[in-house]
Structure 1
Amino acid sequence: MEFLCLVTLAIFVVFTSFLISKIRKLLKPIKAPTLDLDEYWGPGKKSDYKENTEVVKYEISFPDETIETLKNDLKKTIKLQTPLEGIGFEYGFNTVYLQKVINYWRDEYLPKWKEREAFLRKWPHFTTNIQGLRIHYIHTRYEDPPKGKKVFPVLLLHGWPGSVREFYDLIPLLVENADSKYAFEVVVPSLPGYGWSEGAAKPGLSTTEMAIIFRNLMMRLGYRKFFVQGGDWGSLIGSNIATLFPEAVLGYHSNMCGANRFRSMIKKTIASFYPKPFVPEGYEDFFFPQSEKFKYLIEETGYLHIQATKPDTIGSALMNNPVGLAAYILEKFSTWTNKDYRKLSDGGLAKKFTLDALLDNIMIYYLTNSITTSQRLYAESFTARARALQLDRVQTIVPTGCARFKHDLSHELDWTLKDKYTNLIHSTYHKDGGHFAAFELPKVLYKDFIDFVDKVVKLDNL
């Protein structure tokens, strides 16, 4: 009996030691993976491809016939299902309000399309070929740098279902703000497969590979060191640029900071029982109760599971279907801006945005036929190949800033972020705003970004 007890104890000790070693391994940071900085994503063989590095001025213009086709599609009799009594956006886009959006799109927005098209051309647009793909971007550059100001390049990155349109009210603040001691040369690319940027012809183009493309874009434009700002997918792509190419990044600022390491999950669980040491007073509801936050994420991420598994199926249902496309995309601008807007019959869309601005974004997806290719990013970023890179475990050493807007989909504690971002120098909370900060509250996001830049300048004596 005594021998049996000793054997059991020995097995327990060995198992416990093995478990501890595995946990330590999971908690330990790892080195950045070695990646192909010239991986080819275009059609056919790489050996048949010769990259044209020329930067070409791009003029946004669509044929009148295309707009007339859209107008005729919106004129077709559509028998939308009547919403349930007393329901706003809880079941998705309210069809009564959807009909109003369709009417406005057809009768008021499209008749002034030339005006909207001119607005989209407000900033200089360019294309260039990188790794087999035509990459589109907005680029402002000073011929005569403003006197008395420090000038920095900044890369602005959007996500889904957004576009470069999200930044149209932020760009002038960065470029033209006379009250700031900083000025910025702004680069705003369309993600590959979004808008005017070509989608990959081969599988595997995840946020990691997009980070390489955009780093290569900035190098081509002559920017050896630059700031990065992003939300949604732009946040993850920006994080990957800062992680993989720290020598090129002056600072990384995000309005959707994430930390998905195993250690982070443990810390969040601990903090949920006793948040006081980990959350600034008055901001506990950004993070807790966790059960409520988790419930919200489950309710709002059905689209993610579809797009991460069958992007081409849902893409086929939405392409050449303007009504479906508008409902699918605009619903996100309601519930991701404020979850309580689900209770409203108009989804609260008019509270934060104009219909013209929202329809500009829809038009970019519709006219470039990019809904399917945009959704493939979900499928590519949740593969075994993408997970194997374990970039969450690679520490990011560049100066990092995190701006939290209360109604965003999720938030991270500084306690967890510092495991990933070892140089987190800026952490803020905003009691208004949601997921689309640049689109919704550009002045607030601008000020937050400038405060971050100021800290980086002082820290690194720029």
Structure 2
Amino acid sequence: MRPRSPFVTTSTQPFHLSIPESQLVDLRRRLELTRWPDPETVGDWSQGVPLVQAKALVEHWLTKYDWRRCEAMLNGLGQFTTEIDGVAIHFLHVRSKHENAMPMIMTHGWPGSVIEFHKVIGPLTDPTAHGGKAEDAFHLVIPSLPGYGFSGKPPKAGWGVQKIASVWAELMSRLGYGRYVAQGGDWGSLVTTNLGALRPEGLAAIHVNLPVVLPADLGNKFSTEEAAMLGALQHYDRWDSGYSKQQSTRPQTVGYGLADSPSGQAMWIYEKFWKWMDCNGDPLSVLAADEILDNVMLYWLSNSAASSARLYWESYHDGFIAVQLALPVGCSIFAKEIYRAPRSWAERCMSNLIYWNEVPKGGHFAAFEQPGLFVDELRNCFRLVR
């Protein structure tokens, strides 16, 4: 048993997840009635999820997957909600048994969720039980982004990454943490970066595994590493950005199909695990089908296809340009990330870059794919500011 948080206040309530059975019955009915498209005309994933793999994942969902297992896991970790600026924020709050543990807020992205972090919670909060030292312990706050999972859905525009960063600062203050660090990847990297730029009282350092370092003024001369990042971004724009163009321009439209079809919602996410993980073209070689479906279920059960996509509409077009950071920053560059940020650009926007490491394996979903390496990165980075 992990200790419950002593920081529960009148504005923070325990959250117990209990999905009505009627929703699971409806899910099974929709899966059974899936109308499948024609198969792809190529022998790989280059046109999207191949029909054979799509049918296999849905068959597993129908016949072998157990949501109640995932529900029990989340309830066992300790879930809470608190309302900030009119939106309910859902978060995991797992406190270490070690007295001098460092508080850390960790932020997921799209198409991820708090599920991404479930394999690193134990090692980070209880290092002595996982081959580490007591002095490496963390208290963890892991919120669901607004519009994602079991957080509330902002009823009006204005909830971009800068707004979310200010909400995270309020959350950590509300929980009573006077000194803490922050970590994030994907959208979580942008939220964490903006939290670092805001630098609220108590924030000691940040760590990101998708550094936002693209200069506003590129110039015309590039190192090998800088040119490689630009090449990766060009490849992404040509072959991998269809989802982001849709979500950043018409999130409501894409929501109709994904909210109505669980198979459609699953494949919208599954394809990104194939493309962005270090998996040699086979997502199931790194993650179990149940793990992928746990993550999909947080979108399906909360009907958050449109509300999660709106973060792209809010922040995608101007959110990825580097901002100046003066507080201590650590970066981990995983081998198969969407792009591998060059240190030269990081140093231009991070004046106090305390940690930089290029990790030999792992991709965009680092904590999910390579939990051991991910934990090592956070321990090594934040030892420098304890």
Q: Give the aligned partner of residue 106 of structure 1.
A: 62
The residue correspondences of 1:315-330 to structure 2 (distance < 5 A) are: 315-330=255-270
1:289 and 1:368 map into 2 onto residues whose CA distance is 35
Q: Give the aligned partner of residue 167 of structure 1.
A: 117
8 A contact 1:53–1:130 mirrored in 2: no
> Which residue among 358, 372, 376 is the counterpart of 2:306?
372
8 A contact 2:181–2:206 mirrored in 1: yes
Quickly say closer, same or farther: Cα 1:340–1:102, change in 2 above 3 A. Answer: same
**CA deviation digits over 1:28-49, x for unaligned, max 9?**
xxxxxxxxxxxxxxxxxxxxxx
Quickly say closer, same or farther: Cα 1:293–1:131, change in 2 above 3 A. Answer: closer
3-state SS of paired residue (2:221):
helix
Quickly say closer, same or farther: Cα 1:223–1:391, change in 2 above 3 A. Answer: farther
8 A contact 1:246–1:398 mirrored in 2: no
**CA deviation digits over 1:81-112, x for unaligned, max 9?**
12224x21100111111001111000111xx3
Quickly say closer, same or farther: Cα 1:373–1:403, change in 2 above 3 A. Answer: same
2:229 and 2:173 map into 1 onto residues whose CA distance is 44
Q: Give the aligned partner of residue 6 of structure 1.
A: none
Quickly say closer, same or farther: Cα 1:288–1:73, change in 2 above 3 A. Answer: same
**CA deviation digits over 1:264-295, x for unaligned, max 9?**
x23xx5333xx3xxxxxxxx5x9628446522
**CA deviation digits over 1:121-165, x for unaligned, max 9?**
2310000111111110000125xx426xx3110000000010000
2:125 and 2:231 map into 1 onto residues whose CA distance is 42
The residue correspondences of 1:60-209 to structure 2 (distance < 5 A) are: 60-76=17-33, 78-85=35-42, 87-109=43-65, 112-142=66-96, 145-146=97-98, 150-178=100-128, 179-180=132-133, 181-209=135-163
2:10 and 2:153 map into 1 onto residues whose CA distance is 18
8 A contact 1:228–1:253 mirrored in 2: yes
TM-score, scaled to structure 1: 0.77
**CA deviation digits over 1:199-230, x for unaligned, max 9?**
11111210000000111000000012211010
Q: Give the aligned partner of residue 3 of structure 2.
A: none
2:36 and 2:302 map into 1 onto residues whose CA distance is 27
3-state SS of paired residue (1:415):
helix
2:34 and 2:284 map into 1 onto residues whose CA distance is 25
Q: Give the aligned partner of residue 239 of structure 1.
A: 193
Q: Give the aligned partner of residue 249 of structure 1.
A: 203
Q: Give the aligned partner of residue 381 of structure 1.
A: 315
Unaligned stretches of 5+ residues in structure 2: 1-8
Quickly say closer, same or farther: Cα 1:425–1:156, change in 2 above 3 A. Answer: same
* % identity of equivalent residues: 32
What is the number of residues matched between the two proteins? 374
3-state SS of paired residue (2:373):
helix
The residue correspondences of 1:353-364 to structure 2 (distance < 5 A) are: 353-364=287-298
3-state SS of paired residue (1:101):
helix
Residue 235 of structure 2 corresponds to residue 295 of structure 1: yes
Q: Give the aligned partner of residue 30 of structure 1.
A: none
C-alpha displacement at 1:330, in angstroms? 0.8
8 A contact 1:128–1:134 mirrored in 2: yes
1:338 and 1:442 map into 2 onto residues whose CA distance is 13
C-alpha displacement at 1:53, in angstroms? 5.5
3-state SS of paired residue (2:337):
coil
C-alpha displacement at 1:456, in angstroms? 2.1
3-state SS of paired residue (2:294):
helix
Residue 354 of structure 2 corresponds to residue 414 of structure 1: no
1:334 and 1:248 map into 2 onto residues whose CA distance is 38
**CA deviation digits over 1:277-319, x for unaligned, max 9?**
xxxxxxx5x9628446522443111111111110000011110
C-alpha displacement at 1:260, in angstroms? 2.6
Quickly say closer, same or farther: Cα 1:292–1:438, change in 2 above 3 A. Answer: closer
1:196 and 1:355 map into 2 onto residues whose CA distance is 22
1:79 and 1:382 map into 2 onto residues whose CA distance is 31
Residue 244 of structure 2 corresponds to residue 310 of structure 1: no
3-state SS of paired residue (2:38):
coil
Q: Which amino acid aligns with 2:117?
A: F
8 A contact 1:53–1:129 mirrored in 2: no
C-alpha displacement at 1:382, in angstroms? 4.0
Q: What CA RMSD, in Å, does the superposition of the two structures yield over aligned residues?
A: 2.0
Q: Which amino acid aligns with 1:213?
A: V
1:227 and 1:162 map into 2 onto residues whose CA distance is 21
> Which residue among 434, 439, 444 is the counterpart of 2:373?
444
Quickly say closer, same or farther: Cα 1:368–1:170, change in 2 above 3 A. Answer: same
C-alpha displacement at 1:412, in angstroms? 1.8
Q: Give the aligned partner of residue 6 of structure 2.
A: none
3-state SS of paired residue (1:168):
helix
8 A contact 2:232–2:338 mirrored in 1: no
3-state SS of paired residue (2:140):
strand
2:70 and 2:344 map into 1 onto residues whose CA distance is 45
Residue 184 of structure 2 corresponds to residue 227 of structure 1: no
Q: Give the aligned partner of residue 10 of structure 1.
A: none
Quickly say closer, same or farther: Cα 1:173–1:289, change in 2 above 3 A. Answer: closer
Quickly say closer, same or farther: Cα 1:338–1:293, change in 2 above 3 A. Answer: farther
Q: Which amino acid aligns with 2:16?
A: E
Q: Which has the larger radius of gyration?
A: 1
8 A contact 1:287–1:412 mirrored in 2: no
Q: Give the aligned partner of residue 34 of structure 1.
A: none
TM-score, scaled to structure 2: 0.92
8 A contact 1:227–1:252 mirrored in 2: yes
Q: Which amino acid aligns with 1:92?
A: G
Quickly say closer, same or farther: Cα 1:412–1:291, change in 2 above 3 A. Answer: closer
